[in-house]
Amino acid sequence: MMSPVDNPILEARRLGNPPPALVRQALLAQHDRWEGTPYRLGGTSRHGVDCSALVQNVFAETFRLSLPRTTGEQVHEGRPVSRDELAPGDLVFFRPPGIYHHVGIYIGQGRFLHASSSQGVRISRLNNSYWRRYYWQARRALTPSHLAQRLLSDVDA
């Protein structure tokens, strides 16, 4: 848990940011916490994490929202969202070659946070030729307003 002094959410709230900006700020803070974590299939910690465990951990730590453990289960969360309606906090899914699907969290501005099997936890562009080719669908577990409310209620607690 971050202290109120280092909490970017408090700072973002003081600046009067709307919900999507608060959610984006919180996700960028999570990127800072997880950056450098290597990819490990089945991993669930900062010693090694796979894509669905990263998503599960970020949602639990940031928004106090419990998501299922696997990509196959996460793809049924919330409601479908078209690619042109993506908002920070939406789950983005991909079907790259191989037996496993991939999931990340949209952070806005055409980028998403994920655990890359080749580079570990990072932020990538949706329009990168690889990710654009294998994009599958997006889901919204909660709207940015509801995610921001969860953020702010945690800060005020």
Answer yes or no: are the C-beta atoms of 114 and 51 closer than 8 Å.
yes
31 is catalytic: no
Catalytic residue (one of 31, 76, 101, 102): 102
Helix axes 51-63, 19-34, angle to 10 degrees: 120
Catalytic residue (one of 51, 76, 101, 146): 51
Catalytic residue (one of 31, 101, 114, 146): 114
51 is catalytic: yes
Contacts of residue 134, Cβ cutoff 8 Å, sequence gap at least 6: 94, 95, 96, 97, 102
Indicate which residues carry an active-site annotation: 51, 102, 114
